[in-house]
Structure 1
Amino acid sequence: MSKTTVAVIAAVSAGAGAAATAAMYSLRSSSKKIETEAATTTITTATTTTSTAKPPVPIPASQIFAPTPPTTATTTATTNSTALATTTGAPVDPAGLFEYGFPGPVADIAARSALISSFDRRLRNPHWVAEHITPSSLAIRDGDRKNSAFLEDTAVPEKFRAKLKDYFRSGYDRGHQVPAADAKWNQTAMDETFYLTNMCPQVGDGFNRDYWAHFEDFCRRLTQTYPSVRIVTGPLYLPKRDPVDNKWYVKYEVIGSPPNVAVPTHFFKVIFAEDGTVGGKVALGAFVLPNAPIPNEKPLTDFEVPVEAVERASGLEFATKLPVQRRKRLCAEASCALVIKDYADRQKAFAKGGSPPRK
């Protein structure tokens, strides 16, 4: 990864000193140091061990703010907040607001055949999307992309969802976070990757149809070495230093009419390559790529970052329950190199109703 991008990611770590941050994000260290850093990483993974998983049921605000666990399912926010005021003797009752509804934020969790996604209503993009690929899942070819169509996700309230018209003539591709090619094992599974809750605006030429597609192929090729590969993908909105006042600003385009859908500045992938044994080793790899044309000759390792860098930039966690002794660094265990294929012409053939390439 370039020094500029590393500095950008480090900049979102407001609590750390400059020297400590620079040391933390240095990738030019020994494998022993990398494992030491991994010990301090705090991450939560969204596992997809079963395709029948149901989305978690949100905990009612009335339960969150109750002084004691509610005794019945019908306990109201008003009752609990009144009890709280009585218990504390406070002259005010802020939790009484929840009698009229909980303001949020709310993450829309979708558990589908080949992916689990968490949707950000404010930015109209996913927070993250998790998938699981194996040699057997990639060997089955029962799904055909030609039979799939981009879909608005009606599970998201209409006023918060991304819409097909938002992408029309925007100059951006509807960029899959979990690629359709990872779900060829079933037509329904492939169709579900076309929900806009699995999409973000991506630069087409040079990125979505080129370098990003090669990166997705790299993830699939990992199944030649590892029997189980889990991947979390999502957008980032990273700050950039203004050359005039030398201050850092987060700046991103918003598309749609009215403009609702944010255009990410970067994208991340966190990869868990499992050795297939119970309690076995897991090769962890984290990558951050700019949403911009990238020359195909650019080494993938230039975009490798510590997992903690993605956590700090995204507000997510990825492996809090994975002991440090089970962790390996992916690019130390496997060759982190792309195989360049011609995806552009093939993807243009399926671009009906899509956006023109960004100029």
Structure 2
Amino acid sequence: MVHASKIILRVTAFTGAGLGGWFAGKHFERQQYLNDEKDNRASIFSNVNIKNMPCLPIFGTVSAATPIVPAENQADMGAKLSVQGSRISQIMKYGFPGLDNVRSFDDYVISYDRRNRVAHWVFEHLTKERVKPNKLVDRSKCEFTPDKSIHPFFRSENSDYKGSGYDRGHLAAAGNHKLEQTHIEQTFFLSNMAPQVGRGFNRDSWNRLEKYVRTLTNVYKDVYVCTGPLYLPKREADGKKYVKYEVIGNNHVAVPTHFYKIVVGETEDHKLEMEAFVMPNAPIDDKAPLKNFQVPPESIERAAGLLFFDRIAREKLNKVNGKSVCS
């Protein structure tokens, strides 16, 4: 009996030592990974003076699909700032709506929702010169491409859309990025897409809204555009409200119930005017005026859980949805 007890104690001791070693190893691996991550972030931002980088998030991180190369001397925010960093600063001049999985491309910035496989928001900066068609840019050469900067667990694929009955609808409109071939091609990353009803919406009313936004570059020297999905509640037969939306494909890409677009135009004399739109992801009568879809900007903020253009005090806006703002 005593001999048996000794054997049990020895087995227990060896088992405990083995488990302890395994946990210690896993802890070491995790710590090493975190240290590597810390070192990587430190190397990326080692030459960046964050305080001098306007509109970059301080408490979040920007994971750039196209890397941001910091300038040698951040004190001069002019020509010495990298082209990519300078462009991001232009696009995000009036603030980030949120800091979840922010990625930057050459001509737009995106916050990606890994759970729904659709962006939270996409930000663009348009001018008359930037939306002017370039004869060397050919949209027909563009292909819908999975965004490899997104972890494969969370990205959408073309196969998700195949046979779904939905279009791969642009959030950053391809027509807004015809300055360079690379710019328009980057709008075809699937991270910039959302499932949209085709006829009556994506190809019609939503397209009208995109074209309208481009015409605003004839009115304002700078046009800032934020676009994204909404998942709005609907009252069911039992009298209760539910948020219900379809998912498509093996990756369960969420089909938004609505889409929003918030636009800020800046005049030559620096006056700011805002327009906010929400459209249902459904066929819409093409004769319906776009004004029918204008809503108070704060209603979108509440629904999306985001604050848009938070660097602009509302009392600084000259107009909202075409109406003068009382001081």
Same fold at TM > 0.5: yes
Find the partner of 1:260 among 249, 252, 258. Answer: 252
Contact 1:172–1:204 at 8 Å: present in 2 too?
yes
Matching residue of 2:190: 196
Matching residue of 2:203: 209
Matching residue of 1:236: 230
Matching residue of 1:271: 263
> One-letter code of the match for 1:293?
P
> One-letter code of the match for 2:161?
Y
Contact 2:276–2:321 at 8 Å: present in 1 too?
no
| 172 and 321 in structure 1: CA distance in 2 versus 1, 3 angstrom threshold | same
Matching residue of 1:285: 275
Find the partner of 2:126 among 124, 130, 133. Answer: 133
How many residues get paired? 235
Q: Distance in 1 between matches of 2:321 and 2:164?
A: 36
| 210 and 281 in structure 1: CA distance in 2 versus 1, 3 angstrom threshold | same
Q: Distance in 2 between matches of 1:140 and 1:178?
A: 16
Aligned-pair CA distance for 1:331: 3.5
Matching residue of 2:94: none
Matching residue of 1:313: 303
Q: Distance in 1 between matches of 2:162 and 2:57?
A: 33
Find the partner of 1:296 among 274, 283, 286. Answer: 286
Aligned-pair CA distance for 1:320: 2.2
Moved over 4 A (4+): 52-60
Matching residue of 2:221: 227
| 333 and 275 in structure 1: CA distance in 2 versus 1, 3 angstrom threshold | farther
Matching residue of 2:172: 178
Matching residue of 1:121: 114
Matching residue of 2:322: 332
Contact 2:262–2:275 at 8 Å: present in 1 too?
yes
| 157 and 164 in structure 1: CA distance in 2 versus 1, 3 angstrom threshold | same
Find the partner of 1:156 among 150, 154, 157. Answer: 150
Contact 1:55–1:109 at 8 Å: present in 2 too?
no
Q: Are 1:112 and 2:102 counterparts?
A: no
TM-score, normalization: structure 1? 0.62
Contact 2:275–2:322 at 8 Å: present in 1 too?
no
Q: Which runs of 5+ in 1 are unaligned?
A: 1-51, 61-105, 335-359
**Partner SS state of residue 129, structure 2:** helix
TM-score, normalization: structure 2? 0.68
Q: Which runs of 5+ in 2 are unaligned?
A: 1-52, 62-98
Aligned residues: percent identity?
43
Contact 1:54–1:111 at 8 Å: present in 2 too?
no
Q: Are 1:147 and 2:141 counterparts?
A: yes
**Partner SS state of residue 207, structure 1:** helix
The higher relative CO (CA closer than 8 Å, separation ≥ 6) is in 1
Aligned-pair CA distance for 1:139: 1.7
